[in-house]
Amino acid sequence: MMEKIPFILIIDYGSQLTQLIARRIREQGFFSRVTGIMGLKKELYEIRKQSEQENLLMGIILSGGPDSVEGQNSPAVDKFLFDLRVPILGICYGMQAIAKGLGGAVELGRSREFGKSVVRAHGKSKLLDNIQDFTNDAGHGLLDVWMSHGDSVTKVPPGFKIIASSSDCEIAGIADENNHFYGLQFHPEASHTKQGKKILERFCKTICNCPSEWTMKKFSENKILEIKKIVGQDKVLLGLSGGVDSSVVAKLLDEAIGKQLICIFVDTGLLRRNEAAAVMEIFENRVGGVVKKINAGKIFFEKLKGVFDPEEKRKIIGGLFIEIFEREAKKFSDVVWLAQGTIYPDIIESAGGENDGSTKKIKSHHNVGGLPDRLALKLLEPIKVLFKDEVRQLGLELGLERNIIFRHPFPGPGLAIRVLGEVTFEKVSILQSADEILLNLLKKTTVVERDVLEGLTVEENIGKKWYDATAQAFSVFLPLKTVGVKGDDRSYDWIIGIRIVNSTDFMTANASRLPYELLEQISSEIINKVQNVSRVVLDISNKPPATIEWE
Ligand code: XMP
């Protein structure tokens, strides 16, 4: 279902920065949607069908991309976009594609610029007029910008004028102001382009006339009304994992349909210590509907016996989860909907976009994958247009506990992929104890100025707890024994690995730098308090080449 709010459509040509364009625009209250080029026609068909009277499409942004517009298989701008009578802004590849599509010229490798640059705005364009960082001696406005291109526009298309130039790139901005078509060679979405936000605001507000009324409060209110309307008196089933996304969906559905909500929480026995109790405490008796916990630890351990291969473990866990969920779901015969915590990054694929059918797909690593077909339930995905930090904002808006909203991600297969090799109850129990110590110390210890001076973290983190200053932290059980001394005795016990990373998208990650005293404290507390552990080791690998999890 489409949000019935005026919006800017972003067409993704494959740039790493596309989602950032969407975020920058939303931050300023303009709603944005992203589509890949493959899904574009379908997307526009839907937009037209649903917004005939309302005129929801206010403008289009063509993103950057890794290709060269002159490449044989490079995506061109679909010409029909120019007939939609909405303003268009092309960024980097997007500008070159506009230039090429409308009769200009692009040359390969003509001027390469990667990194910071300065452009001079000229021609008093509606897009850049009076936006500048400083002026030169001749009184021209100059902008600090971020460039990342090998090709350049060498001839502007008919009807266009040059609106920005850098010393290496004469045509760094173009405009056809009669038709409201614009192009920028630099990236306004990148934070190094200091006036980037203002430029995007100028495009959305002044050029597209897009209202800037999109707030999380409004989103929440509208969503609650919308859910009420489409669900009616039906019952909705939700697989609650205790993670941010499914918790926010639970809270949202509770506000919307209260008693009609049935949450199923499967305790696999592979959760962190006290996790199941903590999730139940937050949801049981506090939402209008049913919250049912299934204690399934025994069967999970049984099925994992003798299994060493990580992918096999994942398959067994996923399969069991579906089996249990399905069995429980059947007990509620009057359920019509299955709710899922799918979020925007799950459905944007640069080749696909949000409307090429991928919306119907269920997150591949999601625990309830495959269920709708078998259960013949309708799918409800109320937060699928939100980015992760927006989901958190929504959680705050709905009054969800901060410790749920700001928790580190936890993988679906749980501790089974953090016990290397065969999973046993004993190993999981050791791991839970070690992990509890690690997380408690990170939650207790504050980042201080010295940590910044020593280059361990950034200034914004001063005063935060280390848990909040890092993206993911956990312990790993290594099935190896080493010698130690405990008291007067020689010990021969297991090793615990510590993994703490900084990351924004979890596609790449850096091993976090923690003060040595804290690391020492973590190590000695684990060795002293957790039986059968003789040694703690720290993982300092970055991703890539290592992954975040060890299995
Ligand atoms: P990797 O190990 O791939 O992890 O660098 C990236 C992020 O994904 C999480 N992860 C998983 N989440 N099922 C999940 O639900 C899985 O099988 C799985 N494997 C990794 C990981 O915790 C990290 O946040």
When comparing pLDDT for 355 and 196, which is higher? 196
Q: Which of 35-39, 42-46, 51-55, 364-368 has the lowest mean pLDDT?
A: 364-368
pLDDT at 458: 92
Atom of ligand 1 nearest to the CA of 408: 24
Distance CA 59, CA 86 (A): 5
Q: Select which of 149, 187, 275, 390 is catalytic.
A: 187
Where do we find the tokens 């991600």?
409
For the record, the structure tokens of 520 come out as: 């020492």
Q: For 229-248, what is each residue's pLDDT tens digit?
A: 999 999 999 999 888 999 99
pLDDT at 435: 98
Per the CB < 8 A criterion, the answer to whether 186 and 169 are in contact is no
Cα dist from 371 to 237, 289, 439, whole Å: 11, 21, 34
Contact residues for 318 (Cβ-Cβ < 8 A; gap 6+): 367, 369, 412, 413
CB atoms within 10 A of CB 102: 20
Q: pTM to 2 decimals? A: 0.76
Contact residues for 281 (Cβ-Cβ < 8 A; gap 6+): none
List helix spans (H) across 232-274. 244-257
Distance CA 419, CA 514 (A): 24
For the record, the structure tokens of 184 come out as: 């920028």
Ligand 1 pocket residue status of 365, Cβ below 6 Å: yes
List helix spans (H) across 337-424. 344-347, 371-375, 388-397, 402-405
43 is catalytic: no
Q: For 128-158, what is each residue's pLDDT tens digit?
A: 999 999 988 887 889 999 998 888 999 999 9
Neighbouring-strand partners of residue 262 = 237, 290
Q: Residue 357: which pLDDT band, with cuts at 50, 70 and 90?
A: very low
> Ligand 1 mean position to 343 CA, how many Å?
16
Q: For 245-276, what is each residue's pLDDT tens digit?
A: 999 999 999 999 999 999 999 999 999 999 99
Per the CB < 8 A criterion, the answer to whether 515 and 451 are in contact is yes
Contact residues for 413 (Cβ-Cβ < 8 A; gap 6+): 270, 313, 314, 317, 318
Atom of ligand 1 nearest to the CA of 549: 2
Q: For 291-327, what is each residue's pLDDT tens digit?
A: 999 999 999 999 999 999 999 999 999 999 889 988 8
361 pLDDT higher than 80: no
Ligand 1 pocket residue status of 547, Cβ below 6 Å: yes
C-alpha triplet 11, 14, 17: angle, nearest 5° = 85
Ligand 1 pocket residue status of 549, Cβ below 6 Å: yes
413 pLDDT higher than 50: yes
Quick one: average pLDDT of 182-191?
A: 94
204 is catalytic: no
Ligand 1 pocket residue status of 363, Cβ below 6 Å: no
Atom of ligand 1 nearest to the CA of 412: 15
Ligand 1 pocket residue status of 341, Cβ below 6 Å: no
214 pLDDT higher than 70: yes
412 pLDDT higher than 80: yes
Q: Select which of 113, 149, 169, 189 is catalytic.
A: 189
Backbone angles phi and psi of 414, in degrees to 5: 60, -145
283 pLDDT higher than 80: yes
For the record, the structure tokens of 428 come out as: 């999981």
Q: Is 210 helix (H, G, I), strand (E, B) or coil?
A: coil
538 pLDDT higher than 50: yes
Cα dist from 489 to 52, 318, 534, whole Å: 80, 43, 12
Q: For 427-482, what is each residue's pLDDT tens digit?
A: 999 999 999 999 999 999 999 999 999 999 999 999 999 999 999 999 999 999 99
Q: Which H or E run contains 119?
A: strand 113-121
> Ligand 1 mean position to 478 CA, how many Å?
18
> Ligand 1 mean position to 384 CA, how many Å?
20
Quick one: average pLDDT of 198-227?
A: 94
Nearest-CA residue for ligand 1 atom 18 is: 411
Q: Candidates 270, 313, 475, 506: which one to mutate for ligand 1, based on the most atoms within 8 Å of Cβ?
A: 506
pLDDT at 157: 97
Nearest-CA residue for ligand 1 atom 14 is: 411
Average pLDDT, the chain: 89
Per the CB < 8 A criterion, the answer to whether 142 and 131 are in contact is no
Q: Quick check: bond before 544 cis, omega within 30?
A: yes
Distance CA 310, CA 415 (A): 12
> Ligand 1 mean position to 444 CA, how many Å?
25
For the record, the structure tokens of 446 come out as: 């504050």
Closest by CA position to 311, among listed 551, 6, 64, 45: 551
Ligand 1 pocket residue status of 270, Cβ below 6 Å: no
Quick one: average pLDDT of 369-395?
A: 83
Q: Residue 355: which pLDDT band, with cuts at 50, 70 and 90?
A: very low
3 pLDDT higher than 80: no
Contact residues for 351 (Cβ-Cβ < 8 A; gap 6+): 14, 36, 37, 38
92 is catalytic: yes
> Ligand 1 mean position to 547 CA, how many Å?
9
> Ligand 1 mean position to 263 CA, how many Å?
24
Atom of ligand 1 nearest to the CA of 474: 22
> Ligand 1 mean position to 383 CA, how many Å?
21
Ligand 1 pocket residue status of 443, Cβ below 6 Å: no
Q: Select which of 92, 169, 208, 210 is catalytic.
A: 92
Ligand 1 pocket residue status of 414, Cβ below 6 Å: no
352 pLDDT higher than 70: no
- Taken in order 14, 35, 390, 234, the sign of the CA dihedral is negative
Q: What percent of the chain has pLDDT over 90?
A: 65
For the record, the structure tokens of 15 come out as: 């740039």
pLDDT at 347: 66
- DSSP letters, 428-462, are HHHHHHHHHHHHHHHHHPBP-HHHHHTTSS-GGGT
C-alpha triplet 219, 187, 132: angle, nearest 5° = 95
Neighbouring-strand partners of residue 536 = 496
Ligand 1 pocket residue status of 315, Cβ below 6 Å: no
Q: Residue 365: which pLDDT band, with cuts at 50, 70 and 90?
A: very low
Distance CA 218, CA 416 (A): 40
Q: Residue 351: which pLDDT band, with cuts at 50, 70 and 90?
A: very low
104 pLDDT higher than 80: yes
Q: Quick check: bond before 545 cis, omega within 30?
A: yes
Q: Residue 506: which pLDDT band, with cuts at 50, 70 and 90?
A: confident
Distance CA 406, CA 396 (A): 10
358 pLDDT higher than 70: no
> Ligand 1 mean position to 411 CA, how many Å?
5
Distance CA 515, CA 321 (A): 40
Distance CA 187, CA 63 (A): 9
Q: Residue 15: which pLDDT band, with cuts at 50, 70 and 90?
A: confident
pLDDT at 353: 43
